[in-house]
Structure 1
Amino acid sequence: MESMRDVNRVMEREIKKGSSPLKLDHIEFGNYSYQEIMSQEKLFEVLTYLLRIGDFKQYAGKTILNNVYMDMQWKKPVFKRTKTAMERNNIFATIRRYVKKLKPQYNGDVYLETVRCYFDKSQENLEKCRYTYQGNETYAFLMSDKYIMALYTHCLVAIKEYAFDSVKSNGLSDMELSMVKLEGVREVLFQALLLDDVKFEDGKMYAELCTVYLLI
């Protein structure tokens, strides 16, 4: 992974080119963060929701272009944005084959982790990003591919730092902490940063970073 100094330089250059200056403020875990996935059917349902395909294709709005998804190429994970439903369906097919090859038992070995990534943006700039989609008021952030991938990197680094901060991670159980540290993880089955569904809580703006783990 490139240094965070280099990542920040990329973000600064992309802002000058017109990317929305959305920056990570902090991350949070909560009682919503860990859910056991108890069957293959449920796992595939989670994947179709995250990818906004199948029964959940109605959630694929214009801002889905900002989402970052994990895919597999040459048996290695890659992270990218998608432009079409076909691309997301192809990711689903690839991850489904990957899962079947690993043969999870669904007896406490598959978990969905949801981390809230809180972003900082001035109210003035935020108002410029407001728009109405399908009758609902929401926000769209114009960001280049390089900027979004840099923002995603910031989220991953923040999670890593959180795991090794004894004060911040004090609220996690031993099993949850082992997942955050990847110590009890056999494989990361899937990951998605859902920037198409930015939420607000107590005046704070966040998006969810979702990861599916196969535990040892």
Structure 2
Amino acid sequence: MESLRDVRRVMEREAKKGSCPLMFDRLEFGGKPFQPITSEEKLDEALAYLLRLRSFRRYAEKTIINNVYMDLDILCKKPQFKRTHSVIDREGIYARVQRYKKRLQPDYESGLCLETVRCIFTLPEGEAKKCRMTHDGQETYAFIMSNKYILGLFTHCEAARKSVVSDGVEYGHLTEPEQRIVLLDGVGDVLFQALLLDDVGYTGNELSANLHTIYCLNEK
């Protein structure tokens, strides 16, 4: 596994080649970061939403190719993270997660939850102006990044989620059971994870996007 220092070096090289120098800044837990998943139907609905499938295909615009999804090998043993370029790619991930779900046999009464944390990114001063553009008569921004750069951003988000305590992320407003999940206490397998960069917020010099993780709780 690459160190964050190595990842930063790759991102720096990609920025020199033209990738927007967007950088991960911090994680934030909102007021309700956890949603229990109490049935297989709700789990399948959550997966379809994250992958923009079924009734959620209407959300799949061009920027969906920026999303980073957890995928599995044919034996569902080794997770990998990647971007997709078509609905066929996303349907393939969905099918493999279904096989992984059957293997894990999650407890729907108390053993699954969807966590949503906000990832905050910043731009160096003056860079936002370079990304400004007009689309359909409206002013917006286009943040052009290579595959390596986007995967580098995801790596930083994932590492920050694992090091919440040492990074000083605020979570004291959450309930005691929720705080245990934040600390990964009693958390077992990650059934699925996605960083949705097709739905970003932009204020001032900061961008934000959601990192979604489906946890199996009460590991057997």
Asked whether the equivalents of residues 164 and 183 of structure 2 are also in contact (C-alpha less than 8 Å), the reply is no
2:13 matched to 1:9?
no
Post-superposition CA distance 1:57-104 (Å, at most 9, x none): 111111111110001113111111111110000101110121122222
Q: CA deviation at 1:184?
A: 1.1
Q: How does 1:176-195 map to 2 (within 5 A)?
A: 176-195=178-197
Q: Deviations over 1:86-133 (max 9, x none)?
A: 000010111012112222221121100001001101464334434567
Distance 1:28 1:89, change over 3 A: same
CA spacing shift, 1:140–1:202, aligned 2, 3 Å: closer
Equivalence for 1:196: 198
Structure 1 SS opposite 2:163? helix
Question: Normalised by the size of structure 1, how large is the TM-score?
Answer: 0.89
Matches within 5 A, 1:38-187: 38-73=38-73, 74=75, 75-122=77-124, 124-130=126-132, 138-164=140-166, 168-187=170-189
Question: What CA distance in whole angstroms lies between the structure 2 residues aligned with 1:132 and 1:41?
Answer: 41
Structure 2 unaligned blocks of 5 or more: none
Q: Which amino acid aligns with 1:5?
A: R
Please give the alpha-carbon distance, in whole angstroms, between the structure 1 residues aligned to 2:167 and 2:16: 34
Cα-Cα RMSD? 2.3
Letter in 2 for 1:100: K
1:40–1:106: 8 Å Cα contact kept in structure 2? yes
Deviation at 1:138, TM superposition (A): 4.9
Partner SS, residue 171 of structure 1 = coil
Which runs of 4 or more aligned residues in structure 1 lie more than 4 Å from their structure 2 counterparts after TM superposition?
A: 130-138, 164-167
Q: 2: distance between equivalents of 1:15 and 1:2?
A: 19
- The CA deviation at 1:183 is 3.1
Q: Mind listing any 5+ residue stretches in structure 1 that lack a counterpart?
A: none
Aligned residues between the structures: 216
Tell which deviates more after alignment, 46-55 or 156-165.
156-165
